[in-house]
Amino acid sequence: MADAAVQLSAEDGGDIPAAIDLRAEYVKSGVKDVLDELDRELIGLRPVKQRIRETAALLLVEHARRRLGLAHETPTLHMSFSGNPGTGKTTVALRMANLLHRLGYIRKGHLVSVTRDDLVGQYIGHTAPKTKEILKKAMGGVLFIDEAYYLHRQENERDYGQEAIEILLQVMENQRDDLVVIMAGYADRMDRFFESNPGFRSRIAHHIDFPDYSGDELLQIAETMLAKQNYQFDGKARVVMADYIAARRKQPHFANARSIRNALDRARLRQANRLFETVSGPVDAEALSTIGAEDISVSRVFAMAEAAKEEKRS
């Protein structure tokens, strides 16, 4: 980011600097820390990280313009995160809340995560108070609506989701200075949702697509997850895990990092059972912390992959 220099203007009657060092503001505001943490915490997702950096740059410039007394308007910050499960949408939403708070665009910086059930009631008169209560909790922060398309059920004429939608649209427009709404879900379903509810599309300025992870990225994610729990693969286990990932990605209901986390939980269960049944003497820290190839290779994912191959051959 380059320095910005402008003529003196007046804002709020305070002292107006002649210029603002955007790089210094980037560090001082803590935005650099948030983005660096995002880089460390999330593997891959380059296009997502780039969009977040671009948004941060825009907000820093707008913040500088406000300090210099230039004409400004609070940018529309409502967002849509589209992608498959387990691609980091909730994590990025949390970091975005922190970033917006550090730059002064929201008062608190907290995130309230909800689904349709938290907003839509089951009988007449139930939806409005539920939705308004959630909005009250989220004010000053970010409201994250996961699988937002379930708010709209076109096939059900008596569905109460439309009432929640109308309240959300009103608040997103009238109180956008005090609330940021992030809607998330599968890309194709989000597209259909916006087509059916054009009011949302017109209020959302930032549409960010979350790509699936590659096989190498998922293996790196697996090793990172294990390391956080003081576990590691042995040499053979790492190779088997790579094969597992390649097979699992081709099967139904794959959820990226979420599926990897579930696979590791099962591997740890098998490792614990293996140690309990096969080791009679003392067990050292390395044995307790190492996932072996046998803890992964017995997964039914391999059996399913082999069955699929047999079916193709027959």
pLDDT at 156: 66
pLDDT at 6: 35
Rounded CA-CA distance 81/113 in Å is: 13
pLDDT at 2: 39
pLDDT in tens, 179-201: 999 999 999 999 999 998 888 98
Residues of the chain with pLDDT under 70: 1-14, 155-157
pLDDT at 177: 86
**Fold topology of 215-313:** Helicase, Ruva Protein; domain 3 (1.10.8)
Q: Provide the residue ranges of all domains of the chain, joining segments of one domain with +.
A: 4-210, 215-313
Q: Sort 104 into a burial class: Cβ within 10 Å, 0-12 / 13-18 / 19+.
A: exposed
pLDDT at 64: 87
**Which CATH class for the 4-210 domain?**
alpha beta
